[in-house]
Structure 1
Amino acid sequence: MVQNAAPSPQNRYLADHVDRLRYSFRRLLGEDLIDPTLSDVAAAQALYEAPFVVVSHGTEADPIFNYANRMAQQLFELSWEDFTALPSRLSAELPNRAERAQLLATVAQQGFIRDYAGVRIAKSGRRFTIQNAIVWNVSDGAGTPCGQAALFHQWQSLEDDDEPGRMR
């Protein structure tokens, strides 16, 4: 279980949780989520401060987000406390939730999926697409399921007056 306090030096940037994300990503995709030469705490800090989005949710019947790096918090316009209290299904608009549920079922069966794209919604109601997302199952070292996570580097606002590209 992830602590409710935002990642910080005091809680080692939630290094234990980030270790599960890293381990699962490496095992399933054969790639590193973050520089593998970093210590556990340095890797956890680097992932929290990364210029791309990483989020995860647990295994509850209605999964709740249990991790959101700073870029995710900015994009979704949520504080750590609000993010980690949010059922992950609410990150998608109601019409897109069935598609999202199907995606998560596919990931549960296959272990991961690449090149996912979908529409998400920020706290303000601003809609944006995510592109080329990787979604994967998260487990601990013993193989016990811990939830699912997503990583994406690309998103685009669906608002008419915004330019496409990455939010900065």
Structure 2
Amino acid sequence: MIITPDSADFAALLCDSHRRLTGRDLVDPPQADPAHWLYDTAPFCVLAHDTQADPCFVYANRAAQRCFEYDWNDFVGLPSRLSAEAPNRDERARLLADVSRQGYASGYRGLRIARSGRRFWIEDVTVWNLIGTDGIRHGQAATYRRITPV
């Protein structure tokens, strides 16, 4: 699957897997063009990484780009572990391993770092496995609405 900011197929994967695993809609209320809304307008951050041994970001909506201070071209392909400072990566790795086993986790709070070195907390985070209707795992995604400066 080729992922672009306006990829309808990827937006469907995000929304469908979120609903199946969490029981809640990612886009609520429904939008005429969920791909465009998630990328450009959503009032919350959405990120996703692939299934590589060292996962890389494959998606970051505009809210996430502003939060981490990367544009699309710099964000996509960036190893997702770099979103956290080295001392905080073990905690992040444990969360992602739990999500791999359980399907999703919510209520997470973690310390993150922007491109400039600015540190901030992401709070009330939901992370879920991106699993297609065919059962194939495509990676993991996260969403959060609250960011607190350090």
**CA shift for structure 1 position 37:** 3.9
TM-score by length of 2: 0.95
Question: Which structure has the bigger radius of gyration?
Answer: 1
Residue 27 (structure 1) aligned with residue 10 (structure 2): no
Residue deviations 1:2-41 (CA, integer Å, cap 9, x gap): 34x5x2xxxxx111111101110000011100036434xx
Unmatched runs of 5 consecutive residues or more in structure 2: none
Q: 1:1-168 to 2 correspondence within 5 Å?
A: 1-3=1-3, 5=4, 7=5, 13-35=6-28, 37-39=30-32, 42-49=33-40, 50-158=42-150
Aligned equivalents of 2:85 and 2:2: distance in 1?
26
Unmatched runs of 5 consecutive residues or more in structure 1: 8-12, 159-168
Contact kept, 8 Å, 1:91 with 1:121, in 2: the verdict is yes
Aligned equivalents of 2:61 and 2:126: distance in 1?
15
Contact kept, 8 Å, 1:58 with 1:65, in 2: the verdict is yes
CA 1:19–1:36: 2 relative to 1, 3 Å: farther
Aligned equivalents of 2:28 and 2:94: distance in 1?
31
Number of equivalences:
149
Aligned equivalents of 1:155 and 1:69: distance in 2?
15
TM-score by length of 1: 0.85
- Which letter does structure 1 place at the counterpart of 2:7? L
Structure 1 runs, 4 residues or longer, greater than 3 Å off:
35-39
Residue deviations 1:105-164 (CA, integer Å, cap 9, x gap): 000001000100000000000000011000000011101000000000001111xxxxxx
**CA shift for structure 1 position 85:** 1.8
